[in-house]
């Protein structure tokens, strides 16, 4: 059988980064190069993961490093480097610190992998995609953010638990920015193909929508140190797998819009087709006036973060 080794670099060997490395290797999707600013951390986690390979029945390389030269010619670069939210801290508090980190790591990584595709994870997510676009100079097809896959997974999990059905049969449609302004659209969410509003009362749907919006904070409040990482890592795996295997899956991703959904020059979560070229297509659906308004509000909060960043850099 021909062997085709793909290479994914994961920047940041913390909770999300290390779990992404584990998920990608165990799924047999690619070799993983884990890099962090802390010496020993990526090496230690990569060694531990590599030692689990014989038991997990995969033969992917998992390599830990502090040197970007080792990441040369990566197909995909996943950026998780940064600070995680602490209890009481909003995603926006992270803005300035994480922008500096993201600018630095993206600049270094793309130097060694100029043809790669960037999958951003660091919060505040939508603003960090803007920073990555600028730092890399890549076209919008090759720079995207992970948030919608996670937000829709949360919505799906809550719907499935509530109705006592398999989450595999639940689809959920979530637009907008990551965070409090995300826009879940229940009428495009289904259970076994049946639109959700046929099966659930509007008040209950509203409760689950609210729980989805605050899903990240719910985990932060319970953990007390750090934020969610299992579901975020699974979400990244789905995106990376669709890109590297050219699956053309339709997944909600944070991408730079240029006129789609009447939004221009801002990164917002929308459904896209993910394949070997990255974001191969943006899917536009008709929205009601209320949904369009909610999406504009969501885009507005991204705009204010991006403007804050520009002012502080000027």
226 binds ligand TXD (CB under 6 A): yes
Question: Among the candidate windows 31-39, 49-57, 180-188, 262-270, which touches ligand TXD by CB under 6 A?
Answer: 31-39
Q: Which of 105, 175, 182, 263 binds ligand TXD (CB under 6 A)?
A: 105
Under the binding rule (CB under 6 A), the answer on residue 125 touching ligand TXD is yes
User: 174-175 and 183-184: which strand pairing?
Assistant: antiparallel
Q: Which CB, 125 or 272, lies closer to ligand TXD?
A: 125
For 166, other C-beta atoms within 10 Å of its C-beta total 10
- Among residues 45, 103, 178, 238, which is the contact residue for ligand TXD, using CB under 6 A? 178
- Quick check: 240 and 119 in contact, CB under 8 A? yes
Q: Is 96 an interacting residue with respect to ligand TXD (CB under 6 A)? A: no
Nearest to 299 by CA among 257, 271, 240, 242: 257
Q: How many residues bind ligand TXD (CB under 6 A)?
A: 35
**Any contact of residue 191 with ligand TXD (CB under 6 A)?**
no
**Selection from 215, 164, 160, 210 nearest residue 190 by Cα:** 160
User: Cβ 286 to ligand TXD, closest distance in Å?
Assistant: 27
Beta strands in the chain (DSSP E): 7-11, 31-35, 62-65, 76-79, 117-120, 143-145, 170-171, 174-175, 183-184, 190-191, 194-195, 249-258, 264-275, 278-282
Verify cis geometry, omega within 30 degrees of 0, for the bond prior to 60. Answer: no
Residue 43 touches ligand TXD, criterion: CB under 6 A: no
Provide the binding-site residues for ligand TXD, judged by CB under 6 A: 11-17, 36-38, 41, 80-85, 94, 98, 101, 104-105, 121-123, 125, 146-147, 150, 178, 226-229, 232
Q: Which residues are catalytic?
A: 178
């Amino acid at each position: 059988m021909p062997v085709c080794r793909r290479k994914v670099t994961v920047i940041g060997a913390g909770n999300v980064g290390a779990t992404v490395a584990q998920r990608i290797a165990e799924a047999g999707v690619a070799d993983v190069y884990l890099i962090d600013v802390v010496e020993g951390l990526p090496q230690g986690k990569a060694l531990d993961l590599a030692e689990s390979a014989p038991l997990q029945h995969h033969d992917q390389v998992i390599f830990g490093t502090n040197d970007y030269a080792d990441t040369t010619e990566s197909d995909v670069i996943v950026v998780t480097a940064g600070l995680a939210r602490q209890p009481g801290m909003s995603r926006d508090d992270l803005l300035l610190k994480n922008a500096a980190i993201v600018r630095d790591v993206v600049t270094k990584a793309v130097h060694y992998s100029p043809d790669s595709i960037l999958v951003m994870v660091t919060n505040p997510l939508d603003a960090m995609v803007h920073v990555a676009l600028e730092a890399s100079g890549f076209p919008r097809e090759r720079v995207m953010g992970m948030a919608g896959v996670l937000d829709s997974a949360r919505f799906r999990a809550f719907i499935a638990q509530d109705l006592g059905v398999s989450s595999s049969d639940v689809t959920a449609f979530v637009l907008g920015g990551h965070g409090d302004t995300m826009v879940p659209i229940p009428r495009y969410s289904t259970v076994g193909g049946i639109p959700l509003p046929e099966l659930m009362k509007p008040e209950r749907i509203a409760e689950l929508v609210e729980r989805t919006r605050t899903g990240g904070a719910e985990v932060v409040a319970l953990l007390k140190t750090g934020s969610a990482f299992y579901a975020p890592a699974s979400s990244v795996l789905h995106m990376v797998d669709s890109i590297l295997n050219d699956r053309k899956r339709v997944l909600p991703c944070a991408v730079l819009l240029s006129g789609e959904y009447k939004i221009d020059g801002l990164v917002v979560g929308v459904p896209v087709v993910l394949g070997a070229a990255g974001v191969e297509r943006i899917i536009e659906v008709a929205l009601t006036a209320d949904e369009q308004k909610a999406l504009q509000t969501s885009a507005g909060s991204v705009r204010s973060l991006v403007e804050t960043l520009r002012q502080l850099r000027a």
